[in-house]
Chain A
Amino acid sequence: MSAAAPLLLLNHDASLHRAAAGDHEAFGDLIREHQDMVFSIAWHFLHDRDRAEEIAQEVFLQLYRALGEIESPAHLIFWLRRVTANRCIDESRRGRWRIVTLDEANDVARDAGDTDPLLSRKLGQMLQRLPAPQRLAITMRYQEGLEPSEIGAVLDMPLNTVKSHLRRGLAALREWLGVKP
């Protein structure tokens, strides 16, 4: 760990404390630091830019009310992932879905950089066909790079359940893509 790392952690802790004390500027810093993570989880789950933003906004508003409970920057990330996942599940239960247009898909695909936009879009659309728990487990695994045990903690699922969701979800994606395991 570099010498700057502890200083960075201290800064994050300080931002958290200031935000918890009602400092809007510090809370704005926290939002900007984590907004891509929260928005992306919601976006990959819903494939709907407006709904993803709405959920992400609600997550941060909930965070504002719960700042006093957040113990550390690591706890903050865990909390944000868990609350975002729960809100995505709630959203899927409500069934407020709509078909994403090609323009929107292109709009988001511009962020894809050097990836194959067609394949990325295809995978994103296939992900929507998976059951919600499989979709979330795969999003946490490949977007956030979490290990199955960490996914279990975030989604409040036993390790074997997480492994099963990942295995089944990936098997379905392989089958739809015509890829042999």
Chain B
Amino acid sequence: MNLDDDLTRALARKSAPDGFADRVLSRLDTPKTHRTSLFTRIAAAIVLTAALGGLTAHQIIEHRRNEEGERARRELMTALHIASAKMRVAQRAVAHD
């Protein structure tokens, strides 16, 4: 037994399955894209900048809205505290009488 020869035979190239090349070609869904034109790149940059700008503006508005909401909540809580204190005073006065 000659291991070198046996391995050469055992590891001989096998035939790829029938239709292999066609299956690969069918997976090339789109033809190779050509170089993107300067106009397309500028347009893409503008769209991206506008989208980022819009997103930032939206976040600023949202932040302000949150701040206003928080301020209104604090004011309401203060008003409730005052009203509650007044009520306690009034209750005490009524009970005293």
Report the minimum CB–CB distance from B40 to chain A (whole Å): 18
CA distance A108 to B22 in the complex (A): 21
| Chain A interface main SS type | helix
Q: What is the size, in residues, of chain A's interface with B at 8 Å between Cβ atoms?
A: 44
Q: Which of B8-16, B47-55, B61-69, B86-94 contacts A (4 or more CB under 8 A)?
A: B8-16
Counted as pairs of residues, one from A and one from B, with CB atoms less than 8 Å apart, the total is 98
Contacting residues of chain B (23-60) with chain A, CB-CB under 8 angstroms: 23-25, 27-28, 31-32
Contacting residues of chain A (95-112) with chain B, CB-CB under 8 angstroms: 108, 111-112
Which residues from chain A contact B22 at a C-beta distance below 8 Å?
Answer: 28
Report the minimum CB–CB distance from B36 to chain A (whole Å): 15
Which residues from chain B contact A37 at a C-beta distance below 8 Å?
Answer: 13
Find out whether the CB atom of A57 lies under 8 angstroms from the CB atom of B14.
Answer: no
* Residue A170, interface by CB 8 Å: yes
Which residues from chain B contact A119 at a C-beta distance below 8 Å?
Answer: 6, 10
- Given A174-B3, A177-B1, the answer on whether A44 and B11 have CB atoms closer than 8 Å is yes
Which residues from chain B contact A152 at a C-beta distance below 8 Å?
Answer: none
Find out whether the CB atom of A32 lies under 8 angstroms from the CB atom of B17.
Answer: no
Closest 9 CB pairs of A and B: A35-B16, A22-B32, A120-B10, A39-B16, A115-B9, A123-B10, A31-B21, A142-B11, A143-B11
